[in-house]
Structures are given as C-alpha cells and as structure tokens.
Amino acid sequence: MMDEENGKLVSFKSLGVCDQLAEACEDLGWKAPSKIQIEAIPQALAGKDLIGLAQTGSGKTGAFALPILQALLDAPQAFFACVLSPTRELAIQIAEQFEALGAGIGVKCAVVVGGIDMMQQTVALAKRPHIVVATPGRLVDHLSNTKGFSLRTLKYLVLDEADRLLNQEFEKSIDEILGVIPRERRTYLFSATMTKKVKKLERACLRDPVKIEAAAKYSTVETLKQQFRFIPAKHKDCYLVFILTEMSGSTTMVFTRTCESTRLLALILRNLGFRAIPISGQMTQTKRLAALNQFKSGECNILIATDVASRGLDIPSVDVVINYDIPSNSKDYYHRVGRTARAGRSGVAISLVNQYELEWYLQIEKLIGKKLPEYPAQQEEVLLLLERVSEAKRISIMKIKEGGGKKKRNRGEDDGEEVDKYIHSKNKSFKKSRR
C-alpha cells in the first residue's frame, strides 16, 4: 500500500515488524499492510494503548496480533495476551491467525469458548499457552473454577468487536475480567462503531490511548453494489429463489431474523436443488463449525444465517449478501453487508423489503446516507416459480413437523447431512424454468 502523505510504498518491515513476522505475513499472502495496520502497528510497537475503529474485513486482527507477537518474541512467557471476542467463531478465527503468524516462532494458543467441553479447555490451559482467545462468559467460568489458572501475569488485553462485547449479556463478565487482570498492561480496543458504551469502556480500561480511524462512521465500501427490492410478503420466497437462480454459481450469504427460518429456507432451497446450509445460534458448536467449513470449502455455496454469523466470520470470497429479512437494528445491516466486498474485492448486497419492513429499510437508507437503486426483476417472470417454490415449502414444513417430536432436531441442530435426507427426489436439480 502507498503512504498517501509521501508516496512511498509501505511494507510490514517499514512499519517496524521484525523479519520473522514479516516473512510470516508474506507466507500468509499478505502482500502489503492494510490502512488500519499502517496506522496501528507503529503506535502499538511504541507501547501505546489503542482504540481502532475499522470496517469489518479491514485486517484488524493483524493490526493487534503482530505487535503482540513481536513483544512476545522479546519476552516470552505464558498467558502473555488475552483476546476477548463476542462470538465463538470469531474467537476460533483469531486464534487461527495468531497460530499462522506465530507458526515459525512456536506460539501456543488456547481457545476458551462456550459450546465446547470445559475439560478439554482446562487441559489446554494447563499447557500454559502464550495467547488465550476467549468469549467473556466462558473465560469467567475458568477464572472461577479452573484450579491454577489465572491471568495475573497478563501483559496485553484485546477487546475485539468491543461494541458488541458491551451488550448486556457480556457486561458483567467484562467487569469481572477487568477486576482480576493487572492494571499495568497494554490494552487494544477494536470496534466497527464508536458507541457511548465503547467510550465508557475506553475510560475504564485504557491509558492515554491513540485513536485510529480507518473508516467513516457507517460507511460501506465503494466496491459494494447495494440494491433493494420492494415485494409483497407472500412472494418473498419466490424472489429469493429467483435471485439465487440469477446469481447461480455465486457464493451467497442469506440473512434471516430467526433460527427457525434459517432451517426452513435451507430445506426449501435444497428441495429445489440448491446447495444451501443453515448456521444459527441454536446449533451446537460442532455443527456450526461443520456448516461453516462446508461453506468455506465450496461444498455448499449458499449459507443461510442469523446475525450470529454476520460479524467476525472471515469468509473471504462471498460474492452476494441477501437480506431475506431486513434487520430491525439498522446497524446490523452494515455488518451483514460487510461479509462481501472485503479487502478490495467487489460484491453485491440485495435487500428484500416487504410491506411490514419498510420502516426498518428507511432507517438503513438514513444510516448509510443514500437511496439505493432497485433490483431489476419482472414480477411475471418471478411468479413463474411460484408453484415449485410453494410445493418445496409444503414438503419442507411437513418434514420439520415430522421431526418435531425429537427434541434435538427441533433445536435446529441439523447440518448438511440432516438436510440432505430431506431433499425431495423429484427435484434433483433446479434449472431456470423460463422460455
């Protein structure tokens, strides 16, 4: 990347990153530092506390991982850094980046999140890792119950997606963690948005921080093409199938409001021959990861998700985001569409707006500061699909009802295999049925 002020080409080395870590960046295919990395790394290496405001997909994990690993090289010790994340998936991903960057220097990481066996984590902590990546609730569980585990020697604390870590569900845990770690430490706070709560957290735990802003307040990247389509609620499934058919071959994330609708939509789409898989907070951790891996590997090219999956998941090659349900909180729109057009790529975001969601949609336009163009589709053409979509929906609802007696299945814990059983034999493939 070019330094805008003096026109020089910036490399990780020129930011002060040591040779070993600069090579690790190269091995990961990071050719040049991103904007947030250029701003944050020198300040962090100079020993400053940081507040980083950055869009999702901007490279912020590298912005805090590299300075921490460099400091660890200078003074290796167990429990050197702790990174807090609001979701399990993001925590796993952060640990993967630490391990990839630190592979050549023998960095040990432990992931401490809910939904995974506590005993397994206790064993990992007993090995005294350098870096602990955790969700707040589970970290508090271990600090209270795991013999011999403490963070009294911690040198670095990172709060990633800090605006979400301050939701009510996490606030108490965060306070407890701040109460048992050293005051003498470096703290990095990263957030996509600067809310009143983030300001409060800044006052509570940062010392004379440097503020780095790599994004306008609620901007969406320029390479993102955003559209909407106003539709009657009863034809929403038809429009979704129409768009997915038009975009066939693309990697797509479809966002819904509830865990139940992720599951139903996945069944409907599979009945029509699409390779769709659901992911939601009701699935077990193992099944969420399995679904994510199927999507990442390309085995399924449509991921149907609730907002659990809208932030922090590093899925670099999503071409299209479809808002099947408009989020009632307009800020969630910004995070959802951040799944596409990442790291300079182009992407498309299409929002299906029915008569009940207009108010929410207008809030989104107000937030992003622009009127969006309409997605072009002839209603007569879309409704040619009505019969097949209705039939697929009828079969899917029937299958869900059949499985309703089994508690586990009703908890939305189906992965790809479970959904596969429901594919209707008559609908093996779904071609454009238009002449």
Q: Which of 22, 65, 18 is CA-nearest to residue 44?
A: 65
How many CB atoms within 10 Å of residue 211? 14
Predicted pLDDT of residue 430: 44
**What average pLDDT does the structure give for the chain?**
84
- Residues above pLDDT 90, as percent of the chain: 54
pLDDT value at 210 more than 80: yes
The Cα–Cα gap between 119 and 126 comes to 10
Q: Is the dihedral of CA 283, 285, 286, 288 positive or negative?
A: positive
Mean pLDDT is lowest, of 47-61, 202-216, 410-424, for 410-424
Please tell me if the domain spanning 12-213 has the same topology as the one spanning 224-397. yes
The Cα–Cα gap between 125 and 261 comes to 38
Delimit the domains of the chain by residue range.
Answer: 12-213, 224-397
What DSSP element (H or E) covers 367? helix 358-368
Q: Which of 414, 430, 432 is CA-nearest to residue 267?
A: 414
Predicted pLDDT of residue 80: 97
pLDDT value at 24 more than 90: yes
Mean pLDDT score, 195-209: 75
pTM > 0.85: no
Q: CATH: 3.30.565.10, 3.40.640.10, 3.40.50.150, 3.40.50.300. Which one for 224-397?
A: 3.40.50.300
Predicted pLDDT of residue 420: 43
pLDDT value at 428 more than 50: no
pLDDT tens for 347-370 read 899 999 999 999 999 988 888 888
CB burial of residue 359 (10 Å; 0-12, 13-18, 19+) = exposed
pLDDT tens for 169-189 read 788 899 899 999 999 999 999
The Cα–Cα gap between 21 and 239 comes to 48
pLDDT value at 416 more than 50: no
pLDDT band at 154 (very low <50, low <70, confident <90, very high): very high
- Residues above pLDDT 70, as percent of the chain: 84
Predicted pLDDT of residue 220: 58
Mean pLDDT score, 88-109: 92
pLDDT value at 28 more than 80: yes
Which top CATH class is 12-213? alpha beta
